[in-house]
Amino acid sequence: MLVQEKLLSENEAESIQAQANTQSIPFVTQLVQSRKLSAIEIAQSAATAFGFPLLDLNSVNPEYLPQKAIDAKLMQNYRVMALQSRGNTLFIALSDPTNLHALDDVQFQVGMALSPVVVEDDKLGKWINKVIDDSDTTLKSLGTGDDLDLDFEKEDKAAEPEQTTEIDDAPVVKYIQKTLLDAINMGASDLHFEPYEKYYRIRYRIDGELREIARPPLAIKDKIASRIKVISSMDISEKRVPQDGRMKLVLSKNRAIDFRVSTLPTLQGEKIVMRILDPSSATLGIDALGYEPEQREALLSAVQRPYGMVLVTGPTGSGKTVSLYTCLNILNQPGVNISTAEDPAEINLPGVNQVNVNEKAGLTFAAALKAFLRQDPDVIMVGEIRDLETADIAIKAAQTGHMVLSTLHTNDAPGTLSRLMNMGVAPFNIASSVILITAQRLARRLCKICKHPVDIPKEALLRAGFKEEDLDGSWQLYGPKEGGCDACNGSGYKGRVGIYQVMPITDEMSRIIMRNGTAHDISDQARREGVKDLRQSGLLKVKQGLTSLEEIEACTNE
């Protein structure tokens, strides 16, 4: 090809090929070293001749390269490097597209379709060495950095299992401390430590979305798992069954963060998920949660009544616990006796008697509730109503002069009543005990710094749920900036805002429940009484410029 393009003479080409064979290096590498042609000239010619894209490796961020996708020996022998995987396709960088044998071997090793990208040979050689060095990072280099002065405080020292493995690897300890600190500083709600066959990754859930943060060496996966299990008071010798634990990270004399830890045996090792439980979230106050004024008034009016049941519903991670604890914080007065049964207690609240449910020991939600009723309670909080027995006791408590707060997993407020009926609770018991149901979601909040006005066709707005009278031009629609900014880490969103459907149970609703009415009947009655559903509440947040229309459409149904 190069001879045909008259970039090389036939004699020069044969001479360089002979030299490459003698030194056992690729032809393109020998050609660059001979300085007959520059690396960029060769790359441009190869890309044009074979129809492959040309890439400047200086524009690539090394942090996002898949470190372990291609075996190190194959990378060095064939001068190929993984750039990115998308679906079942791996994009690879190479300087010699004619080396079909290399492509076949790499494809066999990775088990994916290959999409070649031509790059300059000299840059490729440097990058391959860098990638191999990075993937062979020693534990010592992982542990380097600023000394971290942090303490881990075990929740249950008496129940600490006998440890059979020595976890004395200081670099791993420092690495985990740094990972936890980074998660707290970035506002993450969960950390995922995930082992796979060819790599190990750490992801944070930030504003409801999982983001990959790091890929430590696969060789340290067992040490990371063992260290986390030690500080969470789990049995490190047991790797065959899931385990739950808890630990506290003491940041200073005045601040400590709790973590709820769960392990799960997978094909490639133990996956660990850590939920960050920040006690300060319970003291935010109801104004910070995002309730509209009339919703806030309805909720406060309900929880301050002397007896009855208030239910909070929504999927996992929708902020139900924070809403319940905010209500408990309001009720937490010296003259009020509050008891809670949770699985497990997520936020420690002084002045509240919190009980961890322990199914193995026979301490179920129902057993805890029965005990509470003998403890002279004013307010009872049940972490979740899962079965008929728990529901029955909770309803009887609400009917006999106690305020009961609890959660259920349903899609909206009207569906909660159907769920209780499906459990087997009698309709007259529901009608006489439940006084308010609130359903909620968390939507990502637009970044205040980089959000910008957007224009969306009127038809799309009407289809989303806006009414004609809403589109009067008195408000501006905002959306996320593509690529975001430094403040929001490039996502366009920072923080989350609550979307609520607060439905007081009125006399007319009670009559519908007594007649075995469906969720649709109750929903129609709620609409007649002016109760905003989740979509309407979300659209209100769009009008206020707090979030985007696409975010509301993603997290609510119309």
pLDDT digit string, tens, across residues 81-97 = 888 888 778 888 888 88
Q: Are strands 493-504 and 434-446 parallel, antiparallel or unpaired?
A: antiparallel
Summarised one tens digit per residue, pLDDT across range 444-476 is 999 999 999 999 898 999 999 898 888 888 889
**pLDDT band, residue 133 (cuts 50/70/90):** low
Q: What is the pLDDT of residue 396?
A: 92
Distance separating the N- and C-terminal Cα atoms of the chain: 61
Least confident of 253-257, 260-264, 309-313, 434-438: 253-257
Q: Residue 269: what pLDDT?
A: 92
Mean pLDDT of 139-150: 46
Q: Is the pLDDT of residue 142 over 50?
A: no
Mean pLDDT taken over the chain:
85
CB distance 541 to 501 below 8 Å = no
Q: What local confidence, expressed as pLDDT, does residue 558 receive?
A: 63
Residue 364 main-chain phi, psi, to 5 deg: -90, 175
What mean pLDDT do residues 505-519 have? 92
* Composition of the chain by helix, strand, coil, percent to 5: 40, 25, 35
Cis peptide before 344 (omega within 30 of 0): yes
Phi, psi of 264, deg, nearest 5: -140, 120
Per-residue confidence (pLDDT) for residue 140, from 0 to 100: 41
| pLDDT tens, position by position, 365-407 | 899 999 999 999 999 999 889 889 999 999 999 999 999 999 9
> Which residue did the predictor score with more confidence, 253 or 361?
361
Paired tokens of 340 = 């809670």
Residue 157 has pLDDT above 70, yes or no: no
Question: How confident is residue 138, by pLDDT bands cut at 50, 70 and 90?
Answer: very low
Q: What is the mean pLDDT of residues 475-492?
A: 86
- Phi then psi for 260, rounded to 5 degrees? -100, 125
What is the residue whose two structure tokens read 């790599």? 199
Contacts of 152 (CB under 8 A, 6+ apart): 231, 247, 248, 249, 250
Q: Which among 91, 89, 95 is positioned nearest to 118, based on CA atoms?
A: 95
E strands, 188-300, in order = 188-195, 200-206, 209-214, 243-250, 256-266, 269-277
- Using alpha carbons, select from 187, 184, 192, 257 the residue that is nearest to residue 224: 192
pLDDT of residue 196: 93
Compute the distance between CA of residue 193 and CA of residue 214 in angstroms, rounded to an integer: 10
- Residue 524 pLDDT more than 70? yes
Contact residues for 196 (Cβ-Cβ < 8 A; gap 6+): 268
Mean pLDDT of 156-175: 55
Q: Position 384: which residue type?
A: E
pLDDT of residue 193: 96
Average pLDDT over residues 272-282: 80
Three-state secondary structure along 421-490? HHHCCCHHHHHHHEEEEEEEEEEEEECCCCCEECCCCHHHHHHHCCCHHHCCCCCCCEECCCCCCCCCCC
Task: Give CA–CA dist 462/465, Å, rounded.
Answer: 5
pLDDT band at residue 280 under the 50/70/90 scheme:
low
In this predicted structure, the answer to whether residue 540 has a pLDDT above a threshold of 60 is yes
Task: Compute CA 497 distance to the chain's CA centroid, rounded to the nearest angstrom.
Answer: 16
pLDDT at 153: 61
319: pLDDT strictly greater than 90: no
Give me 108's structure tokens.
């066999």
More confident residue, 123 or 262: 262
How high is the pLDDT of residue 144? Answer: 44
